[in-house]
A and B are shown apart, each in its own frame.
Chain A
Amino acid sequence: MNNSVAKEKIVSLRKKRSLEDMRFKYYGFTAMCLSLAVLVFLLYTIFSKGYTAFQKTIVLLEVDYNQEVLKLTPDSSDEEMEKGKFFRVKKQAIENFFPDLSKSDIKLIKKLFSINVDNEIKDYFLENPEVINTKQQIWVTAHSDVDQLLKGNSRRDVPEDRRKLNDIQLSYVDQLVEENRVKQVFNNFFFTKADSRHPEIAGVAGSFMGSLFTLFTVFILSFPIAIGASVYLEEFAPKNRITELIEVNISNLAAVPSIVFGLLGLGVLLNVFGLPRSTPLVGGSVLALMTLPTIIIACRASLKAVPPSIKEGALAVGATKTQAVFHHVVPLALPGTLTGTIIGLAQALGETAPLIMIGMIAFIPNIPTGLTEPSAALPVQIYLWVESAERGFQEKSAAAIMVILIFLFMMNAIAVFLRNRFERKW
């Protein structure tokens, strides 16, 4: 071949190669931008739908704590006060909410208030017992329908029969707004209350605690077992057919659909062992089974990543195998195992299907205080709220998604922190 022709060929090939390089770089960049855009869109949707849930609407109500109506005296004991007739005080306050109300209008106005108002009136009184026989201006929670209307989530220009609030109620709400007797404040209920049939007093505290207890169970069960199993498989087990079979099956188990584990929990934990239904104990056990393979795989990977020379060094000075493993290999693998465990826990946190199978989908209006109390979990709570017909639950589900995302984000941040903090170089 002619020398100059060959050179030309090389140059043109080089150009082609560098073009290829460039093109591939842009493909990658586009793919990344696309996924980023989808993520941003997702977060924007969740946030824009959900941020209103962090606010609630309250209404100014004049309450007359008349001792006759309450059937109390200023000398009443605390126990007697608990039993005061606060619903009568509330009824009176609503009847006098606007001057000269007709009976039918009172009925309509009653529906502008949350069911929780009785409790709020009572709580105010129990905190300030000296207000007996005085009139007090109290901010009480408005009904979800009012809340949604004022937040602009439900529209007022649809025909009356398709609205939650009729024309008369609307006009009263407008009057309240005009008189500044209604305002929006931070919704503490969302973070302090459990689930409720009434959107305005439904919160994530119950399901959050439920998820926390469940994750605690998962951690307690899966971490020691996973460490034990992976250390044995990696360092002690003889390499033969049986261990090979176990290894393959661990990988297979990691891919088993989670609902199968739910069925296992239902069939074995609930029906055979008779553990209490809908509890974090059972939910955690099922999720521990589900995450175990993931954690074992992560643990084994981090054990494998410890250079064998470290173990050899320990053995060469006369350490036993157990000493070499537990003095040197396991501590070095610990950041990796912890990270793997947290990733596994994060997976467990988002799992819904197995929890539905073992009954954690039940409506639980209390905040659980232990592992054996019925409770909800965050993802199931979201599922329940998304399913609900009331408009008020829509923003709640978006807000609950935010809570679970922040929870996840924090867990991952801890994993990253641990990895960076304890990572050693050799």
Chain B
Amino acid sequence: MSNSKILANGVDVYYGSKQALFGISMDIKEKEVTALIGPSGCGKSTFLRCINRMNDLIEICKVSGSIKVDNEEIISSSTDVVSLRSKIGMVFQKPNPFPKSIFDNVAYGPTIHGLVDSKNELEEIVHSSLKKAGLFNEVKDRLNEPGTSLSGGQQQRLCIARAIAVNPEIILMDEPCSALDPIATAIIEELIDELRLNYTIVIVTHSMQQAARVSQKTSFFHLGELIETGDTKKIFTNPDNSKTQDYITGRFG
């Protein structure tokens, strides 16, 4: 049994007066892939964005409850958001490389955090991050070309490399494959499987097949509530809750 990495306890989220999450409590284990599934608007992305405090960007969003990362409370005004985010990388739904060169995209994180002292070190980090993201062989000859010139799948892997470059412990993925074709999706899924060895991954997905393929744990959200969480195998074969059963068999959602 691995250790728990993220421990959420009674997380409520309000957008203005509308409550989006109702008392979410969840235990996310280290070096596992946890998939968050559920119909649109069920709050799974909202929960994901609580973990690295991306919800701070939304003015009307209020988060209460407790989320502990490595036993440290992060839902508090004294949390250092910058160091939190350097520990928790994020990959977004739509690939969003900076309109800069491929190299600069990956180098940005290490540079602002001062992780490197020399150009050689930076180059090393960029190369190793691109390798870990399985992109290096495809782009090694054109590191100076803009990141936006890559294909959608490559862009998404570039974003993964960008997230890895600051050496995080957790990677959050918000429907990383929804804008990609099946081949690019397969590559990313393979990559997630490899990354699991070194990182704790939380992935939001709309595709139940994807959740079944890549994750060890699955949590099912419905209307802002966490209905069921458990081993992926169990959720997809023998869920406890009838709503989960209905959703995974395609009866709603």
Residues of A within 8 A of B (CB): 238-239, 307-320, 323, 327-328, 332, 424-426
Contacts and interface: CB of A to CB of B under 8 A. Distances in A.
29 contacts: A238-B59, A239-B59, A309-B92, A309-B94, A310-B98, A311-B57, A312-B57, A312-B92, A313-B92, A313-B98, A313-B162, A315-B54, A316-B52, A316-B89, A316-B90, A316-B92, A317-B109, A317-B163, A317-B166, A318-B86, A318-B112, A318-B166, A319-B108, A320-B82, A323-B112, A327-B112, A332-B99, A425-B99, A426-B148
Contact of B96 (A238, A307, A323): A307
B113 interface: yes
A327 to B, nearest CB: 7
Contact of B99 (A239, A310, A315): A310
A239 B82 CA distance: 23
B96 A317 contact: no
Contacts of B98: 310, 313-314, 328
B207 interface: no
A60 to B, nearest CB: 66
Contacts of A319: 82, 108, 112
* B-side interface size class: 20 to 34
Contacts of A311: 57
Interface of B: 52, 54, 57, 59, 82-83, 85-86, 89-90, 92, 94, 96-99, 108-109, 112-113, 148, 159, 162-163, 165-166
A317 B94 contact: no
Given A313-B97, A314-B98, A327-B108, 13 more contacts: A239-B59, A307-B96, A310-B99, A316-B52, A316-B85, A317-B89, A317-B112, A317-B165, A318-B112, A318-B113, A319-B112, A323-B112, A425-B148
A48 B148 CA distance: 52
The residue among A309, A317, A425 with the most chain B CB atoms within 10 A of its own CB is A317
B175 to A, nearest CB: 13
B92 A317 contact: no
Given A317-B166, A318-B166, A328-B98, A312 B148 contact: no
Contact of A317 (B57, B86, B99, B148): B86
Contacts of A310: 96, 98-99
Contacts of A307: 96
The residue among A315, A318, A320 with the most chain B CB atoms within 10 A of its own CB is A318
Contact of A315 (B83, B85, B113, B148): B85
A316 B54 contact: yes
Contacts of A320: 82
The residue among A308, A312, A316 with the most chain B CB atoms within 10 A of its own CB is A316
A425 B148 CA distance: 8
B79 to A, nearest CB: 13
A424 B59 contact: no
Contacts of A328: 98
Contacts of A424: 99, 148
A131 to B, nearest CB: 66
The residue among B57, B82, B96, B148 with the most chain A CB atoms within 10 A of its own CB is B96
A238 B57 CA distance: 11
B57 A315 contact: yes
A318 B88 CA distance: 9
A89 to B, nearest CB: 70
A175 B191 CA distance: 97
A238 B60 CA distance: 11
Contacts of A312: 54, 57, 92, 96
B168 to A, nearest CB: 9
A424 B112 CA distance: 23
A350 to B, nearest CB: 35
The residue among A310, A319, A320, A332 with the most chain B CB atoms within 10 A of its own CB is A319
